[in-house]
């Protein structure tokens, strides 16, 4: 868990967030032990901003990994309580991770809240409704 925290904290520091000043880091732990991380990248056109959770998951998928390869994701932010993922990230996690995968939410004080993907977005939109 410490390695995952350190990886998320390292990319947290690389955040490109000149507009919100809200840095976020995320690290995906794969079942093979590899850690893939991502940070939030903002854009003056706010809709083109990408969150840390999506950056990390998209990087893992870009390397060829899939939901069955992912053990958990950790998300860190400079907030009082463990960070809460936005709705878009919850939706992406719901599709790109197994429903029972752990989502570890934390902050710079190392407070931790662990949830399952299915707990973050009950009644999620998925391919079965298309």
Q: Which residues carry out catalysis?
A: 53
Picking from 42, 118, 32, 104, the residue whose alpha carbon sits closest to that of residue 73 is 104
- Cα–Cα distance between 51 and 68 in angstroms, integer? 22
Query: Do the Cβ atoms of 106 and 76 come closer than 8 Å?
Result: yes
DSSP string, 58-127: HHHHHTT--GGGEEEEEEEESSSSSP---HHHHHHHHHHS-TT-EEEEEETT--EEEEEHHHHSTT---G
């Amino acid at each position: 868990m410490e390695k995952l925290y350190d990886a998320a904290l390292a990319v947290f520091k690389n955040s490109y967030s000149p507009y919100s000043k809200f840095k976020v880091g995320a690290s995906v732990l794969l079942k093979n032990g590899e850690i893939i991380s991502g940070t939030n990248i903002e854009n003056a056109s706010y809709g083109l901003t990408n969150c840390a959770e999506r950056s990390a998951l998209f990087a893992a998928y870009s390397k060829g990994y899939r939901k069955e390869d992912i053990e958990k994701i950790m998300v860190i932010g400079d907030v009082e309580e463990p960070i809460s993922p936005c709705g878009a990230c919850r939706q992406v996690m719901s599709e790109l991770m197994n429903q029972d995968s752990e989502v570890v939410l934390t902050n710079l004080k190392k407070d931790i809240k662990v949830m399952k993907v299915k707990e973050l977005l009950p009644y999620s939109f998925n391919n079965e409704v298309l």
